[in-house]
């Protein structure tokens, strides 16, 4: 397994380099260093000298990928791409273009993201599994049909609708929770109620349908028929046999998203005023802050790769037939 992990670790480098190249190219396709300087210096009374000075101080006065005026390796190293991207591999995110320390901000803002994402994941898992099991229990009946229709309807609704609808219904009309906002420590709980409910509701359609499919696939297998033939109750068949075996794809699917929970949700955080990493990324895109955008994309890629590795490991743990070489 060590060899496997080492190999995956080495594979990660070209992937991350590719992601960096792509982010860099896409960002500078839309924004020039002059645009970035203007965004940071403001729109009024900005002189060309101030723009040049800003670019010089932050190294944005160099060529993007290739420096024809330099010699030797300097042609590649004295470029914006090299100078801005290399230190990311050491997890040194540096300062944002506005001057704030990115590592500090990420460390601060990942907690609100987790505070939303973890309950949504856990409660959502519980609700979706329960609902899926319920439908499987009544498979082939009108209850199952009605449930599937309901699920299709739920997953057809935009997540924005859930957010605005949830705020309107639970926050404005029924006044059960603050419409938006956040607080630190234990005071945060009352701000989490609404986004967690909205997050769970918006995920029921897709999550339950997926789990129902897993359960139905298991329910059609021979060992389930054997269990029934032995006279086991439907409850035991469902919970002991079907659920146990269907949990393998479910758990591995959950493991892959675990690292990504840190990154938060763009829409939810923006509408609920939650200062997480999702809204941090969105703000950076709006402010053309390349330093933050590249740091967050890099972090996202690292976490995604980590998630995939963890998934592979979880296969080994839950399924004795799997071995990693």
Partner 1 sequence: MKVNGWKRTGHTAPHLRRNLSESHWPGKPWGRIGWLLAGCWALLLSGCGGEPWNNPYPREEAAANVLYSSFSERPKHLDPARSYSANEYAFLAQIYEPPLQYHFLLRPYQLVPLTAQAVPVPQYFDAAGQPLSPDAPPEQIAYSEYRIQIQPGIRYQPHPAFAKDASGAYRYHELTEGDLRKIRVLSDFPELGTRVLTAEDYVYQIKRLAVPWLHSPIAGVLREHLVGFAALSERIARAAPEARADGSRPFFDLRTLDFPGARVLDEQTYVIRIRGKYPQFLYWLAMPFFAPIPWEAERFYQQPGMKQRNLQLDWYPVGTGPFWLTENNPNLRMVLSRNPYFHGETYPQEGMPEDQAAGLLADAGKPLPFLDRAVYSLEKESIPYWNKFLQGWYDSSGIASDAFDQAIRFNAQGEAGLSESMRAKGMGLLTAVQTSIFYLGFNMRDPVVGGNSRRSRLLRRAISIALDYEEYISIFLNGRGIPAQGPIPPGIFGYRDGKAGINPYVYRWKDGRPQRRSLAEARALLAEAGYPEGRDPATGAALNLYYEAVASGPDDKARLNWMRKQFKKLGIQLVVRTTDYNRFQEKIRRGTGQLFTWGWNADYPDPENFLFLLYGPNSKVDGGGENAANYDNPQFNALFERMKNLDNGPERQKLLDEMVEIVRRDAPWVWGFYPKAFSLHHAWLHNLKPNLMANNTLKYRRIDPQLRAAQRRAWNQPILWPLGLIAAAFLLLSLPAVFAYRRRERQIGLQQP
Residues 111-130 that bind partner 1 (CB under 8 A): none
Q: Is 173 in the site for partner 1 (CB under 8 A)?
A: yes
Q: Is 273 in the site for partner 1 (CB under 8 A)?
A: yes
Of 3, 29, 42, 230, the one binding partner 1 by CB under 8 A: 42
- Contact 192/115 with Cβ under 8 angstroms? yes
Number of shown-chain residues binding partner 1 (CB under 8 A): 69
Q: What HEC string does 165-224 produce?
A: HHHHHHHHHCCCCCCCCCCCHHHHHHHHHHHHHHHHHHHHHHHHHHHHHHHHHHHCCHHH
Of 64-72, 206-214, 257-265, 283-291, which segment contacts partner 1 by CB under 8 A?
A: 283-291
- Contact 224/237 with Cβ under 8 angstroms? yes
Of 44-52, 115-123, 200-208, 294-302, which segment contacts partner 1 by CB under 8 A?
A: 44-52
Distances (CA, A) of 142 to 139, 150, 209, 215, 237: 8, 12, 16, 18, 21
Spell 237-273 as b/e; 16+ CB within 10 A means b. bbeebbbebbbbbbbbbbbbebbebbbbbbbbbbbbe
Residues 286-315 that bind partner 1 (CB under 8 A): 286-288
Q: Is 160 in the site for partner 1 (CB under 8 A)?
A: no
| Residue 147 CB, nearest approach to partner 1 (Å) | 10
**Interacting residues of 251 by C-beta distance below 8 A, sequence separation 6+:** 314, 318
CB closer to partner 1, 146 vs 244 = 146
Crossing angle of the two packed helices 102-137 and 277-286, in degrees rounded to 10: 120
Of 171-179, 213-221, 243-251, 301-309, which segment contacts partner 1 by CB under 8 A?
A: 171-179
Q: Is 272 in the site for partner 1 (CB under 8 A)?
A: yes
| Residue 268 CB, nearest approach to partner 1 (Å) | 11
Of 1-9, 165-173, 247-255, 290-298, which segment contacts partner 1 by CB under 8 A?
A: 165-173
| Residue 79 CB, nearest approach to partner 1 (Å) | 19
Of 63-71, 83-91, 179-187, 301-309, which segment contacts partner 1 by CB under 8 A?
A: 179-187
The token pair at 324 is 């990693």
As a whole number of angstroms, the distance between CA 177 and CA 171 comes to 5
Q: Is 159 in the site for partner 1 (CB under 8 A)?
A: no
Q: Is 158 in the site for partner 1 (CB under 8 A)?
A: no
Provide φ and ψ at 14, rounded to 5°: -60, -30
DSSP states along 35-68:
HHHHHHH-SSS--HHHHHHHHHHHTTTS-SS--T
As a whole number of angstroms, the distance between CA 23 and CA 32 comes to 14
Q: Is 164 in the site for partner 1 (CB under 8 A)?
A: yes
Q: Is 321 in the site for partner 1 (CB under 8 A)?
A: no
| Residue 300 CB, nearest approach to partner 1 (Å) | 19
Binding site for partner 1 (CB under 8 A): 30-32, 34-35, 38, 40-42, 44-50, 53-54, 57, 95, 98-101, 103-105, 108-109, 134, 137-138, 141, 143, 164, 167-168, 171-184, 187, 190-191, 231, 233-235, 270-273, 275, 279-280, 283, 286-288
């Amino acid at each position: 397994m060590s060899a496997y992990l080492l190999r995956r670790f080495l594979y990660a480098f070209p992937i991350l380099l590719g992601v960096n190249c792509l982010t860099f190219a896409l960002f500078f396709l839309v924004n020039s260093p002059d645009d970035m300087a203007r965004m940071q210096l403001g729109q009024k009374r900005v002189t060309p000298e101030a723009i040049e000075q800003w670019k010089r101080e932050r190294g944005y006065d160099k060529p993007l990928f290739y420096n024809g005026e330099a010699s030797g390796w300097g042609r590649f190293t004295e470029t914006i791409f090299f100078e801005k991207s290399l230190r990311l591999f050491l997890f040194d995110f540096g300062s944002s273009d506005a001057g704030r320390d990115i590592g500090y901000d990420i460390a601060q803002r990942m907690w609100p993201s987790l505070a939303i994402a973890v309950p949504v994941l856990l409660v959502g898992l519980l609700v979706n599994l329960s609902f899926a099991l319920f439908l499987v229990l009544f498979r082939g009946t009108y209850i199952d049909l009605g449930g599937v229709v309901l699920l299709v309807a739920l997953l057809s609704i935009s997540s924005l609708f859930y957010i605005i609808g949830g705020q309107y219904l639970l926050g404005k009309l029924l006044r059960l929770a603050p419409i938006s906002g956040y607080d630190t420590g234990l005071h945060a709980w009352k701000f989490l109620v609404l986004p967690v409910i909205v997050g769970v509701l918006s995920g029921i359609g897709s999550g339950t349908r997926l789990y129902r499919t897993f359960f139905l696939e298991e329910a059609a297998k021979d060992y389930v028929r054997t269990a029934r033939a032995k006279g086991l109750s439907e409850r035991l068949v469902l919970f002991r046999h079907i659920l146990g075996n269907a949990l393998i794809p479910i758990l591995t699917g959950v493991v892959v998203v675990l690292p990504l929970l840190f990154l938060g949700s763009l829409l939810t955080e923006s509408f609920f005023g939650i200062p997480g990493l999702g809204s941090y990324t969105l703000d950076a895109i709006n402010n053309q802050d390349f330093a933050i955008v590249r740091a967050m994309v890099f972090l996202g890629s690292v976490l995604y790769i980590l998630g995939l590795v963890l998934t592979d490991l979880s296969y080994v743990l839950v399924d004795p037939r799997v071995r990693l070489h």
